[in-house]
Structure 1
Amino acid sequence: MALPAKSLASAAANGLRLVSVRNSSSQPKVALLGASGGIGQPLGLLLKQDPLVAHLALYDVVNTPGVAADLSHIDSKAKVTAHTGAAELHAAVKDADVIVIPAGVPRKPGMTRDDLFNTNAGIVRDLVETIAKAAPKALIAIITNPVNSTVPIAAEVLKKNGVYDKRRLFGVTTLDVVRSQAFVAELKGHDATKTVVPVVGGHAGITIIPLLSQTKPSTKFSDEEIAKLTPRIQDAGTEVVNAKAGAGSATLSMALAGARFANALVRGIKGDKNVQCAYVESDAVKGVQYFSTPVELGPNGVEKILGVTSYEQKLIDASVAELNKNIEKGVAFVKGK
C-alpha cells in the first residue's frame, strides 16, 4: 500500500531512505529498454496496444524520442514516455511493474548466441545496476542474448545490491514455445492458435528442449519426425539469421513472444495467475541452478515452479553441462574472475 504524501514528506525530512516500489496493479508501468532496436520497435508497438499497460516507458541510447512520438499517435490506453541515454535510465525504470530488456546487438550469419556475450554482458550488467536502485521490486524479463548467461549476470548484480528476489527475474524463452507450436501445427495440420508445446531447458542450441510428448492436443510423432523437428526448433534462430543474410536476426517473432510474456507478467500482477515457460533460478533439475520450465505467474512473479516430468529426460540430461558452462560464464563476468 502506498504511503500518503504527508508521510512521504515526513520520512524524507527525517533522512529515511525511500525504497522504490511497484505501482498499483490497476495502473501497470512497463519499461522497455532497447526500445529503438530491431526487436524494441515492434515490441513497443505490441505493448502500446496491450490494454493492460497504463504507462509504456521507452529507453534507448539513441532515437527514443522519434519512436515514442510515433507510438504516442496510436489510439490506445498506454501513455508513452521517452528516455534517452544513461542519465535518463533511472526515470525510465523508476516504479516500473515490469521491465523488458531486448537491448543489445543482434546475431549475424555465422555467429552463435554465445558470440554476443562480450558486448551484451556489459549492457545487461549496466542496465540492471540502475534497476537495482530505481526499481528493485520490478519483474525483469531479459531477452538480450545469450539468455543462458545474461540472466545469471542480472542475478549477480541484483545480489551485489542486496535486492535479488529469484521470483522476479526471468529469461524470456517464449519464442522457443511460439516456434515449436508453429512448426508442430504446420507439420500435423493443427490449428496453431490451439496448439500447446512446452519448451524447457535454456535458450540456445541443445539447451532448447521441446517436450513434444506433452503436445496438446495429444499428438503422436514418429521417431523420424522427432529427429527432424527437435533440431529445427533448436536452430530456428539461425534459420532466420541466415535467411536475413546479414540484415538482422529474429525481430518480429521475438517481439511477439516478448509482448506475450510481458502481458502474462502484467496479468499475474493483477491477480490473473497463468502458466508460462521461462528461464529462472530453479531446483527443477538436479545439478543446474537456472532452468526453463513451466512456471505459475502471479502478483510476486514466480508463484510456483511446475517442474519437468517427461520422456525427453535424455535431452534434459544432455543440456545440463552446456547450461552450467553458460551460467558460470555470466557469474564470472560480474565477479571479475
Structure 2
Amino acid sequence: MLQAKKCLHIFCRKVLSRNYHVAIVGGASEIGQTIALLLRNQRTVSNLVIHDNAVHTPGIVLDLSHIPTNSAIKGYVGSDSLDSALQHSDIVITTGAIQSPGLSEKARLHLNAEFIKSFATRVSKVSPIPFIGIATEPINVMVPMATEVIRNNGEYDPKKIFGITSADLFTAQTMYASINNINPQDCKVPVIGGHSNETVIPLLSQAKPACNLDQKSIEEFTAKFRSQEDLVTNAKKGWSPTLSIAYGVSIFVQGILNALDGRPNQIHAYVENNDFGTSYFAGTVLVDEKGAGEMERYSNLSDFECHLLERAIEQLRKDVSKGTKMLELA
C-alpha cells in the first residue's frame, strides 16, 4: 500500500508539472553559455531561447542542440530579433559584459547599462510580463535601473523582477563548512544586504549549525567572504567568476519554476524592498506563482553585523541613486 501511494504521488507530480519557456538574453557570452548548458538539462524547461548580438550565437545554439534532451532550443541574433526572443517566456535571464583583461570597470558599467536599458524597454512590452532574473553587473545598480525603465515604459510588476544573488549564499555556505569541517549541504549561513564587497553581509550569528567563532575569526571570515570575487578574478588572470554564478542562476531558475508549478519556496535575490532602510535589498525571499513575497528577517544580530548593515544601507542608497542618474543622463 505504501509503495502504491508513493507511485501515485510520483505520477500526480508528473501530470501536474508544467513545462516552461526560458530565455537567456546575452546567452552567447561566457556566462550565458554556461547558464544555457545547465538549463539545457533541466527537465521542466521545454523551450530554451538564446538571444545575443554576437555573430557566433548560431554556433552556440547548434552546439547545445547536440545535447540529447526532450526540449526545444532556438537562437536569435541582433537587436531586431529581441522582441521575438522574449515572446511566450515564463522566465528571462540577463547576463552582460563581465570583468575581463582590457575592459575597464567604467567601460563595463557603460556597456551593461546600455544593455539593460534596451532589454528593459523591450521586455516591458511583453504581456503578461515574465519573471525577470538579472545577473548583469553591478546588480545593485542594474536592477533599480531595469525596474525604473519597465515602470515607465509598459507592464510593471515589482514582484517579478529579481537580481540573482544565489552565488553569495553558496559562497558563505561552502566557506563556513570548510572552516568548521562539516558537509556544506548540512549548514546554512544567511546573507543579506546587497551584491558587492561593501554591501554583502554574511550573518554568522544566524548560522546553522552554530559554531563558536571569536570576534577576530568572524571579522576575518567576513573580509575573506567579501573578497572572494576578487580572489577568483585574480586567479583567473583578470576574468570574472562565471561558473559559480552560472550555477547560482540555474538554482534561481529552478526555484522560480517550482513556484510557478505551485510549490512556493525560498530563493536568494536582490529585490525592491522598503523594509530595511533602502528601496532595494538582498536576502532570502519567499516566492510563489505571483512572484516575490516576504523577505526573511533575523533578530539578535551582533553589534558587528549591525555596523555592517548600517554601512551597507548607506552604499545601497548610493547604488540605487546611481542607476537613476544614469537613466537621466541617457
TM-score by length of 1: 0.87
Tell me, in whole angstroms, the C-alpha distance in 1 between the residues paired with 2:28 and 2:267: 27
CA contact (8 A) 1:274 1:297 kept: yes
Look up the match of 1:291: 281
Give the CA deviation at 1:257: 0.7
Tell me, in whole angstroms, the C-alpha distance in 1 between the residues paired with 2:322 and 2:154: 21
Tell me, in whole angstroms, the C-alpha distance in 2 between the residues paired with 1:60 and 1:261: 21
Aligned pair partner of 1:84 in 77, 82, 107: 77
CA contact (8 A) 2:129 2:156 kept: no
Aligned pair partner of 1:319 in 312, 321, 324: 312
Matches within 5 A, 1:1-337: 26-62=18-54, 63-102=56-95, 104-108=96-100, 116-246=108-238, 248-286=239-277, 288-309=278-299, 310-311=301-302, 312-336=305-329
Give the CA deviation at 1:111: 8.4
- How many residue pairs end up in the alignment? 311
The one-letter code matched in structure 2 to 1:33 is V
CA displacement 1:247-304 (0-9 Å, x = unmatched) = x210111110111111111111111111122100102202x10001211011011022
Give the CA deviation at 1:112: 8.7
CA displacement 1:32-58 (0-9 Å, x = unmatched) = 111111111111010011112111111
CA contact (8 A) 1:237 1:250 kept: yes
Tell me, in whole angstroms, the C-alpha distance in 2 between the residues paired with 1:180 and 1:244: 20
SS in 2 for 1:54: strand
**Shift in CA distance, 69/250, structure 1 to aligned 2, threshold 3 Å:** same
Provide structure 1 residue ranges, at least 5 long, that are not aligned to the other structure: 1-23
Tell me, in whole angstroms, the C-alpha distance in 1 between the residues paired with 2:17 and 2:328: 35
SS in 2 for 1:120: helix
CA contact (8 A) 2:26 2:32 kept: yes
**Shift in CA distance, 52/113, structure 1 to aligned 2, threshold 3 Å:** farther
CA contact (8 A) 1:58 1:82 kept: yes
Tell me, in whole angstroms, the C-alpha distance in 1 between the residues paired with 2:262 and 2:209: 27
TM-score by length of 2: 0.89
Tell me, in whole angstroms, the C-alpha distance in 2 between the residues paired with 1:319 and 1:264: 27
Give the CA deviation at 1:319: 0.5
SS in 1 for 2:297: coil
Tell me, in whole angstroms, the C-alpha distance in 2 between the residues paired with 1:108 and 1:72: 28
Give the CA deviation at 1:25: 7.3
Tell me, in whole angstroms, the C-alpha distance in 2 between the residues paired with 1:122 and 1:145: 12
Provide structure 2 residue ranges, at least 5 long, that are not aligned to the other structure: 1-15
CA contact (8 A) 2:286 2:294 kept: yes
**Shift in CA distance, 120/36, structure 1 to aligned 2, threshold 3 Å:** same
CA contact (8 A) 1:93 1:131 kept: yes
CA contact (8 A) 1:113 1:145 kept: no
The one-letter code matched in structure 2 to 1:334 is L
**Shift in CA distance, 110/191, structure 1 to aligned 2, threshold 3 Å:** farther
Tell me, in whole angstroms, the C-alpha distance in 2 between the residues paired with 1:43 and 1:93: 17
Tell me, in whole angstroms, the C-alpha distance in 2 between the residues paired with 1:317 and 1:109: 34
CA contact (8 A) 1:275 1:295 kept: yes
CA displacement 1:105-139 (0-9 Å, x = unmatched) = 21147989677322211111101111111355211
Look up the match of 1:7: none
Tell me, in whole angstroms, the C-alpha distance in 2 between the residues paired with 1:275 and 1:56: 24
**Shift in CA distance, 86/25, structure 1 to aligned 2, threshold 3 Å:** farther
**Shift in CA distance, 52/216, structure 1 to aligned 2, threshold 3 Å:** farther
Identity %: 31
